[in-house]
Copies of this chain bind each other. A is one copy, B any other.
Amino acid sequence: MAYLGNAELVAAVSNAGGLGILGTGYSPPAWIKEQIDLTRLLTDRPFGVNIMLRSPSAKEAIDLVKEEGVPVVTLGGGDPSEHLEGLKSSQSHAVPVVADPETAAKLAKLGADAVIAEGTEAGGHIGRLTTMTLVPQISAAVSIPVIAAGGIASGSGLVAAMALGASGIQMGTRFVCSEECIAHRGFKERIIQSDGQDAIEIGRTIGRPIRCLANRLTEAFLEAERRGASLEEFFTGKLYVGVIEGDLENGFLMAGQCAGLIKETKPAQDIVREVITEAESIFQRLSRDWNRGWNE
């Protein structure tokens, strides 16, 4: 949620009973500080900050969130091992994003407070295993809480994730289509139109797999990837061009396959409430079916 998960969206999610997470991407610490301050003006509920470890200022950002006593710090885009101890000794809970059970087990041992198990159907940087096969493996590998991510945009995903062993869920793409999200209207519209099949994977062969909506840019990327050409030019500002400026053909539109489940833009509060209400009713239906099933 780089560029998109800002203070306003974070506060809206936290105020609705979720845990909003600030997406910091490659942003400088000064911007992160400003957004943390703003979040605290807009909500007095807990929130989180996501640190992108690939960012050159990741270390400074981690120092900042520790000083600020940010309740939850999620860590992605690199190896968080060296940061866990420090976060643990501060007031922050360290929650790395993981895509395989071995890494989850290693980070749990190093002091992670929870892990986000992110399936390959997620938007942005991804692993190989799908949520359905990843979450049970990670749940079996660690005793800390597991948050399921990837492919979840509704109450059915919440109940499924809990069945697979998760204690909660993380949603990204679903919140792009929230009214509070500053994503370009055209990007939101493309997610709503998508059935998820155009949320394709690029960069697998160079070891940097990313899921985003297919467009002229991903076509050029895949073509260059097949040729074995340099891909550096593709990694400079193209996300901003897509998700904020709304150039739907020449920018990256990071989104997950759950785009197929998203039918409209609505307030973040409604999203949180509807996921819970839907989960509740699915759970009631399951209970009915289940009890009936065993009695037949």
List residues of chain A with CB under 8 Å of any chain B CB: 100-102, 119-121, 127-134, 136-137, 150-152, 154, 156-157, 159-165, 195-197, 200, 205, 226, 256-258, 260-261, 280, 282-283, 286-287, 289-290, 294
Q: Which residue of B lies closest to A161 (CB)?
A: B160
A101 touches which of B195, B256, B258, B280 (Cβ 8 Å)? B195
- The answer to whether B163 and A286 touch across the interface, beta carbons within 8 angstroms, is yes
Known A-B contacts A121-B130, A195-B100, A226-B226; A137 and B260 likewise in contact (beta carbons under 8 Å): yes
A286 CA / B195 CA spacing, docked (Å): 30
- The answer to whether B289 and A286 touch across the interface, beta carbons within 8 angstroms, is no
A150 touches which of B101, B132, B205 (Cβ 8 Å)? B132
A128 CA / B258 CA spacing, docked (Å): 12
Residues of chain B within 8 A of A101, CB atoms compared: 195, 260
A261 CA / B101 CA spacing, docked (Å): 11
Given contacts A133-B196, A137-B261, 10 further A-B contacts (CB under 8 A): A101-B195, A128-B196, A128-B200, A129-B197, A132-B152, A132-B257, A136-B157, A137-B196, A156-B165, A280-B294
- The answer to whether B157 and A100 touch across the interface, beta carbons within 8 angstroms, is no
A132 touches which of B130, B136, B165 (Cβ 8 Å)? B130
A261 touches which of B128, B133, B286, B290 (Cβ 8 Å)? B133
Q: Which residue of B lies closest to A289 (CB)?
A: B162
List 29 A–B pairs whose Cβ atoms lie within 8 Å, in order of A's numbering.
A120-B130, A121-B132, A121-B133, A128-B196, A129-B197, A129-B260, A130-B130, A130-B132, A130-B150, A130-B257, A131-B132, A132-B151, A132-B160, A132-B257, A133-B257, A133-B261, A134-B196, A136-B157, A137-B196, A137-B260, A159-B163, A160-B160, A160-B161, A160-B163, A162-B289, A163-B163, A205-B226, A280-B294, A283-B290
Q: Which 6 A-B pairs have CB atoms at the shortest separation, nearest pair first? A: A132-B151, A159-B163, A160-B160, A133-B257, A130-B130, A160-B163
